Structure 1
Amino acid sequence: MSKPVTFQRAFLKPKYWGVWAGLLFLRLLVFLPYKTQLAIGRLLGRLTMRFSPYRRHIVEVNLRLCFPELSPNARNKLMQKNFLDIGMGTMEMAMAWWMSKRRIRKIKVDYVNQDIMDAAIDSGKGVVFISGHFTCLELAGRLHGRDYKVNGLYRRHKNPVFNYVMVKRRSHYAELIERRDFRAFLRSLRRNIPVWYASDQDYGAKHSVFAPFFGVPAATVTALSKLQRIHKPIVLLGGYYRKPDYSGYDFVLTPMPESFPSGDEKADAILMNRFLEDSIRRSPEQYLWQHRRFKTRPKGEARPYKKKREF
């Protein structure tokens, strides 16, 4: 594990009381039945859509860029569904962090291509799961950790209190690796412990290439391509989906083709984005469209999330 987080007295300052109150509220809701929690999550999603124009604007921009073939009305309906799923994802985060082991064991998970995952682990070469940020991802991490030992890369949250609680709770079911701690990443692979890695974050242009994502140039990290070329772990793409009837989850695992890596970082980024795009199209409302995926732009391109001033 990367360097552990420690509690700071500064976390008790009044400016953090709202964060503590929100986390306590979620902690208490976990005692409710599973489907009741999801219903509360859908309510939270509706409220977020209604009262957070900033988040709504990001989702609107992303859907307009990624689904130009849809009518404005169809995109609006997709956005409404997405906010419901984001709200449920908030409750699933609380479940992942605080639900008892007994209740977690009762949640149904259907693995698609589980034999491929088992064979990859049994090979002893090390396994990297790449995935996008699906709305149920936090709970998927705990459920995956229930069935297999999996370590995860994480990005430090800008709010120190939320980051402290996040790392502490996740550490109960997985070893966490700070995304820049490459040595810890390699140690996990050498111990044949699979590592989960999100490939859909915008980390800027310095360590990325621009590759199409839903037809739009997106800053795509090249670290995985370099890692696979040098250390040769088996790379599997993971898609995590909430069942439509809320009876459990589907975990879909797809092997990357043997042509990956190709030696061409941009070609590898294009391939990785295409596989991720296919996994999102399976259930687009369950993807975290609130992320500013197209924040970094090629030189000369306008920033898509900047609102035009109205007069």
Structure 2
Amino acid sequence: MLGKLGSRLGIGLLKLFAILPYGLVARFGDGLGWLLYQIPSSRKRVVHTNLRLCFPEWSDEKREEIAGLHFRHAIRSYVERSFQWFASAKKFEKIVEVDSEVDLTDPNMPPTLLLGLHFVGIEAGSMAINYALGRTCGSLYQPFSNPEFEAAAKAGRSRFGAELASRADSARVVLRWLREKKPVMLGADMDYGMRNSTFVPFFGVPACTLTAVGRLAKVGHAQVLPFIGEVLPNYKGYRLKVFKPWDNYPTGDDEQDARRMNAFLEEQIPRIPEQYYWVHKRFKTRPPGEPSVY
């Protein structure tokens, strides 16, 4: 009972934030992130471990700076779900600018996989793509374990035309969507375990990486458009950055295709290192015989 009450209070708070000025909500989330970073926690240790593995050349001072900024961004992104799920379309449109190298409104767009990369703005970026497309878009997502938050998230994420499906149903549903000529949005740059994955380098560290993107693109004859939701400075909102389709992809080699995604991330993360999702245990699954790094 307490869990249900707490969930309803949390959702109610997000709905309240949605009617407040965006700058105020963003600053609150930023301050809350700063405060929580001062408290020792397992997630704080995960951030430092990831940064130490990926950027061994950085000084301790730089890692500390980026870790603190990232924690603030991560907590702020949760608070800003208020605008993404509950604010009016007009208010949402005002906080997102679109920078796309392709015409998202092209009615003749070929079968397309929209590859969302896990920067802290991925939620805003994903919803901005739904909004910009102006038509139904298939979207895979990881369900919440809490039923109240799951219902709120599904309603919020689908309000601009997204048709949602759990990752557990991915291959069958994605291929159906592609046959129906719907763009399909998915994320693949997280550690989901060894099923349908391979180990390829991520900043020189073996990382358990999904091979599903290349295989789905091959079977569905689809192009792959990576996109990033970037947080703009000075609490101005987000930029949805959509890149050109990857050339010569897929190759048919699962390992090479998985490496392509990680190599692309290695190009993009140094631009805004504090915004990549370092609170995730990216190296949780280790190659056989290797000890845990967390």
TM-score, normalized by the shorter chain, greater than 0.5 = yes
Question: Superposition pairs for residues 112-151 of structure 1, below 5 Å?
Answer: 112-115=100-103, 117=104, 122-123=108-109, 125-148=110-133, 149=135, 150-151=137-138
- 2:236 aligns with 247
Q: Which of residues 5, 8, 11 is equivalent to 1:23? A: 11
Amino acid at match of 2:146: N
1:114 & 1:135 partners in 2: Cα distance? 23
Give yes or no for the alignment of 1:223 onto 2:208. no
Same amino acid, percent of matched pairs: 35
Give yes or no for the alignment of 1:285 onto 2:266. no
How big is the shift at 1:52?
Answer: 5.4
Alpha-carbon displacement from aligned partner over 1:289-311 (angstroms, at most 9, x marks no partner): 11111110001111111xxxxxx
Amino acid at match of 1:71: S
Give yes or no for the alignment of 1:62 onto 2:82. no
1:167 & 1:108 partners in 2: Cα distance? 21
Is the alpha carbon distance of 1:110 and 1:257 closer, same or farther for their aligned partners in structure 2, counting shifts above 3 Å? closer
Give yes or no for the alignment of 1:85 onto 2:73. yes
1:285 & 1:39 partners in 2: Cα distance? 17
Assess if the C-alpha contact under 8 Å between 2:96 and 2:128 holds in 1: no
- 2:84 aligns with 96
| C-alpha RMSD of the superposition | 1.8
Q: Aligned with 1:51: secondary structure?
A: coil
Assess if the C-alpha contact under 8 Å between 2:18 and 2:87 holds in 1: yes
Amino acid at match of 2:66: L
- 1:197 aligns with 186
Amino acid at match of 2:293: P
Question: Superposition pairs for residues 1-20 of structure 1, below 5 Å?
Answer: 13-20=1-8
Amino acid at match of 2:121: C
2:60 & 2:91 partners in 1: Cα distance? 41
Give yes or no for the alignment of 1:53 onto 2:41. yes
Give yes or no for the alignment of 1:172 onto 2:165. no
Q: Aligned with 1:27: secondary structure?
A: helix
Paired residue total: 290
Alpha-carbon displacement from aligned partner over 1:153-182 (angstroms, at most 9, x marks no partner): 101223333223212322222211211222
Give yes or no for the alignment of 1:269 onto 2:258. yes
Alpha-carbon displacement from aligned partner over 1:190-242 (angstroms, at most 9, x marks no partner): 22221111111211112100011121111111111111222211111112212
Q: Which of residues 26, 33, 36 is equivalent to 2:24? A: 36
1:129 & 1:230 partners in 2: Cα distance? 16
Give yes or no for the alignment of 1:157 onto 2:157. no
Q: Aligned with 2:130: secondary structure?
A: helix
2:96 & 2:241 partners in 1: Cα distance? 14
How big is the shift at 1:23?
Answer: 2.2
Alpha-carbon displacement from aligned partner over 1:244-279 (angstroms, at most 9, x marks no partner): 233343222223433222221111111111112322
Alpha-carbon displacement from aligned partner over 1:60-102 (angstroms, at most 9, x marks no partner): 1111111111101100000111111112211221111110122
Moved more, 287-296 or 41-50: 41-50
Amino acid at match of 1:164: A
Give yes or no for the alignment of 1:74 onto 2:62. yes
Is the alpha carbon distance of 1:142 and 1:231 closer, same or farther for their aligned partners in structure 2, counting shifts above 3 Å? closer
1:157 & 1:257 partners in 2: Cα distance? 31
Structure 2: tracts of 5 or more residues without a match: none
With normalisation by structure 1, the TM-score equals: 0.87
How big is the shift at 1:17?
Answer: 2.2
Amino acid at match of 1:251: L
How big is the shift at 1:118?
Answer: 5.1
Q: Aligned with 1:302: secondary structure?
A: coil
Is the alpha carbon distance of 1:106 and 1:258 closer, same or farther for their aligned partners in structure 2, counting shifts above 3 Å? closer
2:23 & 2:167 partners in 1: Cα distance? 33
Q: Aligned with 1:245: secondary structure?
A: helix
With normalisation by structure 2, the TM-score equals: 0.92
